[in-house]
């Protein structure tokens, strides 16, 4: 839904390069990075922490979603993402409408 431009007309870039890192989704207009997190193993936690610090140093917000939730509960994940975006950035559609 997100990378096909179907999520409220917001421009999401998929697999975007930022510095030396690749992020899952990036919304340039909002300075928002959305990461789909897989299972952690083999030092990936250290890499992810360095990457997160780098992205935050660019004043980007990072919203993380466990990949298992995307696979099993996409409808609720999308609703939670929408609620997060409204909370952080306001509702561009007006008070009564969702994104």
What domains are there in the chain, each with its CATH number? Answer: 1-65 (3.40.960.10)
Q: How far is the C-alpha of 61 from the C-alpha of 32, rounded, in Å?
A: 5
* 8-state DSSP, 95: S
pLDDT: which is higher, 50 or 9? 50
pLDDT tens across 13-65, in order? 899 999 999 999 999 989 999 999 887 656 688 888 899 999 999 999 999 99
Q: How far is the C-alpha of 1 from the C-alpha of 18, rounded, in Å?
A: 22
Question: Does residue 91 have a pLDDT over 60?
Answer: yes
Tokens of 6: 């179907």
The residues, any chain, with a CB within 8 Å of residue 41's CB and separated by 6 or more, are none
Q: How far is the C-alpha of 3 from the C-alpha of 55, rounded, in Å?
A: 20
Q: How far is the C-alpha of 28 from the C-alpha of 60, rounded, in Å?
A: 9
């Amino acid at each position: 839904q997100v990378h096909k431009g179907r999520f409220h007309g917001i421009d999401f870039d998929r697999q975007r390069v930022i510095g030396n890192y690749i992020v899952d989704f990036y919304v340039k207009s909002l300075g928002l990075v959305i990461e789909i997190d897989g299972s952690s193993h083999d030092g990936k936690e250290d890499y992810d922490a360095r990457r997160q610090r780098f992205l935050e140093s660019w004043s980007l917000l990072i919203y993380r979603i466990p990949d298992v939730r995307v696979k099993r509960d996409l409808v609720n994940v999308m609703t939670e993402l929408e609620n997060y975006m409204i909370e952080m950035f306001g509702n561009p559609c007006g008070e009564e409408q969702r994104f």
